[in-house]
Amino acid sequence: MSFINKLLPFTRQFPILTEQLGLIRYSSYKSSYQLEDINPLPRKYEITKDPMEWEYVARLLPPAVIPEPLKKDKYPSGWKPQAENLSDRPYFIQRNKFHELPIYLKINTLKTRRSTVLRNIQGDIWLLEKEIRDFLSPQFFQPIRSQVNEFAGYIRIHGDYVNAVKYFLEQKGY
Amino acid sequence: MSGSKEKALNLLRYLPRISLTNIRDNPGAKMARKRGRAQHGGDKHGDGNKGSGQRQNFMRLGYETGNNPFYLRFPKEPYYKGHHLKRQYPPLSLLELQKLVDLNRIDPTKPVDLVAIINSGMYKMSVDQHHFGVNLTDEGFEIFEAKINLEVQWASEPVIAAIEKAGGVVTTAYYDPHSLQAIVNTKKFFERGIPIPRRMMPPADAIEFYSSAANRGYLADPEEISKERFALAQKYGYLLKRIEDDPDYEMLIQRKDPRQIFFGLNPGWIVNLKDKVILKPTDEELLEYYAS
Amino acid sequence: MFLKVESHKIRNFNNLFKQLRISCAREHSTNSDIPTVTTEFAPRKLLFESKYLKPRQVWLESLDTIDERKLGILELHPTVFGANPRIDIIHQNVRWQTLYRYVSFAHTKLRFEVRGGGKKPWPQKGLGRARHGSIRSPLFKGGGVVHGPRSPTPHFFMLPFYTRLHGLTSTLSVKFAQDDLHIVDSLELPSDEPQYITELVKSRLWGPSVLFVDCSDIMPRNITAATDSIKHFNLMPYYGLNVYSMLKHDTLVLTRAALDIIEEKILNNFHRHDPSFLKKFKVNQV
């Protein structure tokens, strides 16, 4: 291989011949063709900078940031926006970046345990936990077992109470 | 009422400065690795005595000690015949579509096609899994109220009725896999630097669907479609207003050419995202090819 | 540390500390009055305004004079500067920053790498000794090491994206809460003497080490010349902001422009649309 590479500088003017003789090693620097000017392109083309057309291109690209929902009178899908005047409340549940309530159902790997997790809680989390427990207890036979993580700001309730808690929070305006 | 966050930040004001020397992970975050020594975990290290287990010389998966194994008994099964040729349309419900409109993830003031639905981020499809587009299902039939110019790949009769009842317009269109590659990730496609392809005609078993006015196919006769619209309104019992009187008439009437993939961009063009220009071919041969 | 305060004045533990804090501040503060708002000072617009959390407020200062001169009050986004001070996330970030580029060059030889040991030392049977095939087996003194370190061993790993993001917000919040964050209109100094900047930092009690962050990587001439010889004053563009540097330097000084960019980038990353950036990091990714 090194002998061929040493031979190649002399055969550079006859690349086709060397190729035919099988002397070209495509992965080596010495055997690779030198950079040449590109001939005029075979196909004619024009470059346009029309802003109207670029509007169409911009429509095709996804947005960088999740858009904010617009204010409407009603939302037929059942989605409720968060109320505006919640700064005086003792606790606050911040919506996630998709503008949904941060309430999730966690199912374990064996699908034997379900828990409801309510995240992004700011303010008095203990008061919120008490209110949720008082709301859920009369509706269900099983006792409401819940875990509060004050520092991380989440409440975990053992069982599937996602819809119930969602209803409770939506009534409050969160 | 201050929460724990405020309490923690207030506490920090009177504690020493947090630096590289006084930080640590939560207790229990790191578990010390146990070495295999002594009675438990040591000696034979969980491999037992002799045999293929201890000698790490296992039989290959599926081997049944010599008899014809299960995975070789049946060379093929008739139930999956032609699975690689079948087209799949991952579903999107009317309820989900209404939610996207409510949350402003989809702009109803412009025509909504497959590109717009994928760019909303809430609908995923992959071309190599033989996915050919959106199958609009009728979940949310009762609550659908968005007036949109919608283009999907498959829609059944009640779905078409729900959209037209809301004052919108629906079309079913076919995209071949090469066009879908461009649609699914437009940014990646433009960065490849290849011209926008021509959309191919539907295959033989799909042409009937996309040519029929009852399915609002993109190859169907517009007059037939308006007749079908009227008939459907009669069947489902809603008032069909004249589309010409609609203030959004111009938006609702926008349709793509059967060879066009993107609105406003013709096949053959190359979009340069970096310099924000469009390269158009002027060669006669190319223009003829892309216009055909 | 405890002051004798009349019991009727104490409402709770917090108030006691507040009184302490105020007295400490009074001892060290300069005699400058809060000036009226100048024309070049404009209020900040916060992106993704929070409905519940109040924005934090910080003085806008200047580096024009050695004595501190306050130009006005700026609002800081609570998600960035009032975030939960997660010490464990800060620790994970610091560990990641030190470890991801670490390559261990510790190396031990395996039994076939140790010199010698090709010949069977003594016959299999007859001698009454244990049977061996090579004098460099791990059983022998001077033999190869079985599961020892093999150089070079990289310790590269990528901390999850949101852990890194929360690391930045936690550290910025910690710096702000501990009064180690200062916002400055620009890094323009009147003189390029190192003496000037050292006296400035000393008079304002800005901690021995200071990290100056600006919006571009080309800094004004004077500050570059002044801090060139001083190792504990460092200049950094906004994209170089990291948890390790923020903790290593006692004080963090951001220019107003850098603050805008940092806040915008962090908030945009919290509200990103496309999750494709969360795909597993591949070293040979094209």
Interface test with A, best of B2, B96, B103 (most A CBs within 10 A): B103
pLDDT above 90 coverage of chain B, percent:
89
- Measure CA B243 to chain center: 30
Could C84 and B8 be called an inter-chain contact, meaning their C-beta atoms sit closer than 8 Å? Answer: yes
What are the b/e assignments for C38-63, b being 16+ CB within 10 Å? Answer: eeeeeebebeeebebbebbebebbeb
Q: Across the interface, which of B99, B140, B283 has its CB nearest the CB of A79?
A: B99
**CB spacing of B24 vs C88 below 8 angstroms:** yes
Q: What is the pLDDT of residue A40?
A: 74
List A residues 111-130 in contact with C (Cβ-Cβ < 8 A). 122-123
Q: Judge: A97–C268 Cβ closer than 8 Å, yes or no.
A: no
- Determine what percent of chain C falls in helix, strand and coil, rounding each to the nearest 5: 35, 15, 50
- Of the residues C273, C274, C276, C278, the best mutation for testing chain A's interface (the one with the most A CB atoms within 10 Å of its CB) is C273
Q: Least CB-CB distance to B9: which of C85, C180, C273? A: C85
Indicate the pairing of strand A114-118 with strand A103-107. Answer: antiparallel
Cβ count within 10 A of residue A29: 7
What residues in A contact B282, CB-CB < 8 Å? 44-46
Indicate the residue of C177, C180, C247 with minimum beta-carbon distance to B9: C177
DSSP letter at B78 equals G
- Measured distance CA(B250)–CA(B110) in Å, rounded: 10
Closest CA to B269 of C202, B14, B231, B260: B260
- Which residues in chain A have Cβ-Cβ distances shorter than 8 Å to B278? 47-50, 53-54, 57
Q: What is the mean pLDDT of residues A108-135?
A: 96
- pLDDT of A136 reads 97
> Which residue of chain B has the CA closest to A150?
B4
In terms of Cα–Cα distance, which of B111, B161, B119 is closest to B136?
A: B161
Chain C residues touching A97 at Cβ < 8 A: 270-272
Query: Which CATH architecture best describes the domain A91-172?
Result: 2-Layer Sandwich (3.30)
Average pLDDT, chain A: 88
A24 pLDDT higher than 80: no
Rounded to whole angstroms, the Cα distance separating C241 from C247 reads 11
pLDDT at B252 over 90: yes
One pLDDT digit (tens) per residue for chain C, 286 residues: 444 444 444 444 444 444 433 333 333 334 444 444 444 568 899 999 999 999 999 999 999 999 999 999 999 999 999 999 999 999 999 999 999 999 999 999 999 999 999 999 999 999 999 999 999 999 999 999 999 999 999 999 999 999 999 999 999 999 999 999 999 999 999 999 999 999 999 999 998 999 999 999 999 999 999 999 999 999 999 999 999 999 999 999 999 999 999 999 999 999 999 888 888 777 666 5
CA distance B213 to B197: 27
Tell whether omega for the bond before C152 is within 30 degrees of 0, i.e. cis. yes
List the single best residue of B12, B15, B24 to mutate versus C (max C Cβ within 10 A).
Answer: B12
Confidence at residue A44, expressed as pLDDT on a 0 to 100 scale: 85
Cα distance between residue B103 and residue B122, in whole Å: 11
CB B211 within 8 A of CB B219: yes
Which amino acid, one-letter code, is at A169? L
The residue of chain C with its CA nearest to that of A85 is: C51
Chains that touch C (3 or more CB pairs under 8 A): A, B
Do B23 and C90 count as a contact with CB atoms less than 8 A apart? yes
- Angle at the Cα of A4 from the Cα atoms of A3 and A5, rounded to 5 degrees: 90
Give the integer Cα–Cα distance in Å for C206 and C250. Answer: 8
Beta bridge partners of B280: A46
Q: Which residues from chain A sit within 8 angstroms of residue C273, using beta carbons?
A: 62-66
Categorize the per-residue pLDDT at A43 as very low, low, confident or very high, splitting at 50, 70 and 90. confident
Is B101 inside a domain boundary? yes
Name the residue facing B265 among A56, A66, A123 (closest C-beta): A56
Q: What is the pLDDT of residues B199-215, one digit of tens each?
A: 999 999 999 999 999 99
B105 is a domain residue: yes
Q: Is residue B270 part of a domain?
A: yes
What's the gap in Å between the CA of A87 and the closest CA on chain B?
Answer: 10
C173 in Cβ contact with C99 (< 8 Å): no
* C-alpha–C-alpha distance, residues C169 and C78, integer Å: 10
Average pLDDT of B211-228?
96
B187 at the C interface (CB within 8 A)? no
Closest approach of A124 to chain B, Cα-based (Å)? 6
SS (H, E, C) C212-254: EEECCCCCCHHHHHHHHCCCCEEEEEHHHCCHHHHHHCCEEEE
Pairing state of beta strands C251-255 and B91-93?
unpaired
The whole-number pLDDT of residue C285 equals: 64
Q: Where are the domains of chain A?
A: 1-32, 91-172
Least confident stretch, A19-33, B161-175, C221-235: A19-33
Domain count, chain B: 1
Cα separation, C248 vs C253, in Å, equals: 13
Give residue A38's pLDDT: 78
For residue B43, give every residue at least 6 positions away whose Cβ sits within 8 Å of its Cβ, in sequence order, or none.
Answer: none
Tell me the shortest Cα–Cα distance from B214 to chain C, in angstroms. 36
Does the ipTM exceed 0.85?
A: yes
> Does residue B262 belong to any structural domain of this protein?
yes
d(CA B198, CA B289): 9
Short-list B147, B152, B154, CA closest to B115: B152
C85 contact partners, CB below 8 Å, separation of at least 6: B5, B8, B9, B12, B18, C170, C173, C174, C177
Tell me if B2 and A123 make a contact (CB, 8 A cut-off).
yes
Q: Find the domain containing B149 and state its range.
A: 91-290
List, in sequence order, every beta strand (DSSP E) within C19-89.
Answer: 56-61, 70-76
pLDDT classification of A14: cutoffs 50, 70, 90: low
CA dist C18 → B1, B229, C1, C12, C205 (Å): 18, 74, 13, 10, 20
- Tens digit of each residue's pLDDT (9 = 90 or more) over B103-152: 999 999 999 999 999 999 999 999 999 999 999 999 999 999 999 999 99
Q: What is the pLDDT of residue B122?
A: 94
Nearest to B262 among A60, A72, A76 (CB): A60
CA distance A163 to chain C (A): 24
The pLDDT score that the predictor gives to residue B4 is: 87
Q: Which of chain B's residues have a Cβ under 8 Å away from the Cβ of A127?
A: 1
Query: Is-contact B183 B115, C-beta < 8 A?
Result: yes
Q: Answer whether residue B283 is part of any domain.
A: yes
Q: How many CB atoms lie within 10 A of CB C77?
A: 24
| Cα distance from N-terminal residue to C-terminal residue, chain A | 74
Question: What local confidence, expressed as pLDDT, does residue A16 receive?
Answer: 59
Q: Is the pLDDT of residue B167 over 90?
A: yes
Residue in B with minimal Cα distance to A87? B1
